[in-house]
Amino acid sequence: MTPQPKPGKVVYSAEQISTRVQELAADISSAYSEDDRLLILGLLKGSFIFMADLVREITLPHHVDFLVASSYGAGKQSSGDVRLLHDPESPLAGRAVIVVEDIVDSGTTLEGVLPRLRAREPASLDVCTLLHKRLTPLDPEPRWVGFDAPNDFLVGYGLDHAEDFRHLPYIASL
Ligand code: IMP
Ligand code: MG
């Protein structure tokens, strides 16, 4: 068996992440009203920890659902082919929808997922990503971004490398 890479330098500590998540939740809470029937849609699996922390800090009543898209397999490179393995069952029409991502890299995942959600006619569709590598301009850009991330391969706080390291409470580079 080839030796597994080990997480190196801590890029964002648990404390830094927690502070930023509270700020994002406050921004989101004041950007919508109850009439918007806010739906927060987590992109699995990478967003699961971010989602759990974020929704507990959002003071506006809202619903939570998940979708599963896959483009990476076990490697570090996107395969470019985005498959939707699980569609949200919640109604989207007429609601304010926020898609929650762990990290935006090439933008391929969002490019694959957003048109399919838009076709279900939400009143608004925005993206909240914890990390954004800003490698290419996106249309639209995520409305909420936790951190502009370095162009390293990052793991922890939900982010994996071949399913390892998701459980780390901080984010490190590999
Ligand atoms: P994109 O489609 O290239 O924007 O990649 C987005 C998805 O790839 C994210 O939801 C992650 O699951 C994964 N990904 C991209 N960069 C990283 C990284 O640095 N560490 C872990 N996963 C990553
Ligand atoms: Mg992922």
- Residue 96 forms part of a structural domain: yes
Angle between helical axes of 14-31 and 48-55 (0-180°, round to 10): 60
Domain that holds residue 100: 10-71+81-173
- Residue 5 forms part of a structural domain: no
- Residue 3 forms part of a structural domain: no
pLDDT tens-digit series, residues 14-70: 999 999 999 999 999 999 999 999 999 999 999 999 999 999 999 999 999 999 987
- Residue 40 forms part of a structural domain: yes
- What domain count does the chain have? 1
Q: Is 148 a catalytic residue?
A: no
pLDDT tens-digit series, residues 115-136: 999 999 999 999 999 999 999 9
Closest protein CA for atom 19 of ligand 1? 153
Centre of ligand 1 to C-alpha 97, Å, is 21
CA distances from 160 to 76, 79, 110, 115, 156 (A): 10, 16, 18, 26, 6
Is pTM beyond 0.75? Reply is yes
- Residue 159 forms part of a structural domain: yes
pLDDT at 104 over 90: yes
CATH number at residue 133: 3.40.50.2020
- Residue 4 forms part of a structural domain: no
Q: Which residue, 29, 100, 20, is CA-closest to 62?
A: 29
Out of 84, 133, 159, 174, give the residue to mutate to test ligand 1, the one with the largest number of ligand atoms within 8 Å of its CB. 159
157 — alpha (psi -120 to 50), left (phi > 0) or beta? left
Residues touching ligand 1 (Cβ under 6 Å) are 46, 71-72, 78, 101-109, 153-155, 159
